[in-house]
Amino acid sequence: MDFEKYGPWALIVGGSEGIGASFARRLAADGFPLAVVARKPAPLEDLASELRATGAEVRVLSADLSQPGAVDVVRELTDDIEVGLLIYNAGANSVRGNFVELDPEVYRSVIAVNVTGQTEFVHHYGAPMCQRGRGGIILCGSTASYIGSPTLAAYTASKAFSRIFSESLWAECRAFGVDVLHLNVGFTATPAMARLGYNLDAAQAPQDVAAEGLDHIADGPVWIVGGPQNVELAVQRSTVANRADAVTRFAPPRS
């Protein structure tokens, strides 16, 4: 990573494990001081201890990103530093169900993290990057953004918002020297997926996903991880000729 363009500090939101922790390890190895935010304090502290043992400068903060004003809470961690790289990796989905049957707190939380929170963080940290004429923003999305899915209505819709939002940001920010990338993530062997009981034998390693994101930050607006097969899947899911057929064929089944 280009420290002059994306430094001095990297802020990773949703960074305590999985892909977020892999971003942290790679950036620490490249000499970036890190501010890492996530909900669970124990994995955060474990990661911080691991990275500090290698000589990295690390700040951590436990914060619930689904709550109003989350960006103001995180500002307590970053107001005295210059953030040149924002990675927004929060937004996993742990509850499935027909939308009309869900507890409203489930979909409100998904929208708060994936839509409202993402826009607030980009607005706050992206503005000074554009003023300085350098920096980078990676917004982690999902191949689920290309099609609606039963039992995942709010999640798939919020990821579609993130992708289109990223494309718009990319078009705006490149004029100011700031790179924006929507990192479109597929099936990945994260601890969150393991806790949900998925067989991860065919899943991509989180460190490989993070590496693709950092290696292709300047290749926006969208980078689909995992190679040509995932690109083809996105193309198939994006067909507009017959959306009923596309949703029926490609939407993940209810489980």
Question: In the prediction, which pLDDT does 186 show?
Answer: 82
The structure's pTM equals 0.92
Instruction: Classify residue 174: in a domain, yes or no.
Output: yes
Q: Is 245 helix (H, G, I), strand (E, B) or coil?
A: helix
Residue 82 maps to which CATH number?
Answer: 3.40.50.720
Instruction: Classify residue 112: in a domain, yes or no.
Output: yes
Distance CA 39, CA 110 (A): 14
Domain around 19: 3-250
Instruction: Classify residue 255: in a domain, yes or no.
Output: no
Distance CA 118, CA 147 (A): 20
Mean pLDDT of the chain: 91
Q: Evaluate if residue 94 carries a pLDDT over 90.
A: no
Q: Is the dihedral of CA 112, 224, 237, 173 positive or negative?
A: positive
Q: What is the mean pLDDT of residues 181-206?
A: 77
Q: Evaluate if residue 255 carries a pLDDT over 60.
A: no
Instruction: Classify residue 90: in a domain, yes or no.
Output: yes
Q: Scanning the structure block, which residue is given the tokens 């990573």?
A: 1
Name the domain count of the chain. 1
Q: Which residues are catalytic?
A: 155
* 9: β partners: 83
Q: Give the pLDDT band (50/70/90) at residue 50.
A: very high
